[in-house]
Structure 1
Amino acid sequence: MPPRAPLPPPPPPVEIRSWPDREAMLADRAVVLRELVRMHMGPGRLGMLALWAAMAGFAWLLIGSAIMMVEGTYDILGVIVGIPILIAGLGLLVPAVVFVCLGLVRDREVRRLLVEWGALDRDPPRDRELRLPGVSLLWLLLSFALAASGLALCVIGPASARPGDDTYGLVAMTMGLGMVAWLTGLIGMVKASAHRRWVLRVLAAPAAVPAPGAPVRAPVGPGHR
């Protein structure tokens, strides 16, 4: 897995800001916000979420198959074959869950930085490209469809199981796959909703503009650490 790009720093405190003028500050703000929005809603984030969800789904498919194999046999062969498959499934599931959790923590930091940098000022011409209404709608629709499908699997799977014909392993595998899809869709919907709230509360909200001639101070720009 390639290393992630480091997050931009937060805006410097008011007392040590040293931008030469408001335009310089707005230019730095635009660069940072553009990068943060890409980190939060870019196609790379959608691809990574889909990758880890697919990995978790495949892992649960292995786990469910192993349970069915052990459950459906009455000799040692099923146990011998099923246990390695179960271990392989767990070996895939654990890192998938860990990386999804790390991604959620990173998204929280990105949203905090989006609020802090966005609150510096307003720049409607540059802010317009950060709204991404089409991208956020795509995230929302795809995530809703995935979450609805997962929830249907979680409900229909156990409800349609026939005693004596469907094993507990099959029901567990169906519910597990549904849960993976539901949680992935829920994450996507939260991201899309969070971006929309940020647009409305930060980009669309009025901001106080410094009086003419007032110093705009900050010793570091977005490229400094």
Structure 2
Amino acid sequence: MPCRDLPPPPPPAHLRGWLDEAVVRADRARFLSDLGRRSLGVGRLLLLWAVAAVFVLGWSFIGMAWMAFEQHDPFGYVYGLILAVLGAGVLIPAGFWVARGARRDRQVRHLLHAWGESDRDPVADARVRAPGRSLTWLVTSLVLGAFGLWVAFAAAVSARPGDTTYGEVAYTMGIGQILWITGLLGLAKAAAHYRWAVRTFRAPAP
């Protein structure tokens, strides 16, 4: 998570008359640029993938624990229990970290909306629209989600009774679903940014 504080909200409308308009516009451009990078920057995309990788690691421990339990021997039970504890030790902190990140994203979106609607500046607004970053999130998330969906369905379709264990199917399908959900989150973020940019920066009615 970013270690530095978020930008402040825009000054109320009744106070703007007392402030230097050039300073307020410069602050708006700077804060919108910073918030745009926090919301849809390449670093945020890599962070999303890193979180998905942590969930894949945690689920890998759980899946291997399930397969160890299916061996039905004392060593398998002990080994599976150790793997299950390791998996929980990875997934539970990752879940709390995701919840914290979701709260920070809501704060960033709120500030983006507030600063975007506080004024109009064609040069600054064009940078915040960031169609290139939105397209990057859209395409990469679509590919990742499609690959995850294919992995999940392939695991279910290719399973053979007596040859493929439940643990193996759950392990592969779980990884596919993590990738699929990660892709959906990226698609939703790109679509939400596009809708916000179109609604906020559309040309005013004559």
Per the shorter chain, which TM-score range?
over 0.9
Fraction of identical pairs, as percent: 47
Show the counterpart of 1:100. Answer: 98
1:195 is matched with which residue?
Answer: 193
SS, match of residue 179 in structure 2: helix
Task: Find out whether 1:70 has 2:69 as its counterpart.
Answer: yes
1:30 alignment partner in structure 2: 29
Q: Which residue number corresponds to residue 132 of structure 2?
A: 134
Equivalent position amino acid for 2:6 in 1:
L
Indicate conservation of the 8 Å contact 1:121/1:207, yes or no.
no
CA distance in 1, matches of 2:179, 2:72: 33
- Closer, same or farther: CA 179–18 of 1 in aligned 2, 3 Å: same
For the pair 1:175 / 2:173, whether they are aligned, the reply is: yes
Instruction: With a CA cutoff of 8 Å and minimum separation of 6, indicate the structure with the bigger relative contact order.
Output: 1
2:142 alignment partner in structure 1: 144
Q: Deviations over 1:44-67 (max 9, x none)?
A: 211211111101001101110110
Rate the CA distance shift 1:19–1:180 in 2: closer, same or farther, 3 A: farther
Task: Report Cα offsets for 1:123-174 as digits up to 9, x if no partner.
Answer: 1022222222111111111111111111222222122210001101011111
Ranges in structure 2 where 5+ consecutive residues have no aligned partner:
none
Matching residue's letter, 2:120: R
Counterpart AA for 2:134 = S
The whole-number CA distance in structure 2 between the counterparts of 1:42 and 1:136 is 9
Q: C-alpha displacement at 1:24, in angstroms? A: 2.3
Q: Which residue in the other structure is 1:61 paired with?
A: 60
Q: Deviations over 1:154-211 (max 9, x none)?
A: 2221222100011010111111101110111111111111111121111234289xxx
CA deviation after TM superposition for structure 1 residue 101, in Å: 2.4
Kept after mapping to 2: 8 A contact 1:119/1:207: no
Between the aligned partners of 1:183 and 1:19, the Cα distance in structure 2 is 48
Which residue is 1:113 aligned to? 111
Q: CA RMSD in A?
A: 1.8
Indicate the residue corresponding to 1:42 in structure 2.
41
The aligned counterpart of 1:83 is 81
Alpha-carbon distance in 2 for matches of 1:74, 1:9: 59
Specify whether residues 163 and 120 from structure 1 end up closer, same or farther in structure 2 by C-alpha distance, changes over 3 A only: same
Instruction: Give the residue type in structure 2 aligned to 1:113.
Output: L
> Partners of 2:47 and 2:119 in 1: how far apart?
32
Deviations 1:59-108 (CA, angstroms, capped at 9, x unpaired): 1011101100111x232010111111111011111122221222222212
Distance 1:200 1:76, change over 3 A: same
User: Secondary structure at 2:150's aligned position in 1?
Assistant: helix
Larger gyration radius, structure 1 or structure 2: 1
Q: Is the 8 A contact 1:152 1:178 kept in 2?
A: yes
Cα distance between partner residues in 2 of 1:146 and 1:102: 24
Q: 1:161–1:171: 8 Å Cα contact kept in structure 2? A: yes
* TM-aligned CA distance change 1:97 to 1:86, over 3 Å: same
Tell which deviates more after alignment, 11-20 or 40-49. 11-20
Unaligned runs of 5+ in 1: 209-225
Is residue 186 from structure 1 mapped to residue 181 from structure 2 by the alignment?
A: no
Q: Which amino acid aligns with 1:117?
A: W
- Alignment TM-score, normalising by the size of structure 1: 0.85
Task: Count residues with an aligned counterpart.
Answer: 206
Letter aligned with residue 34 of structure 1:
S
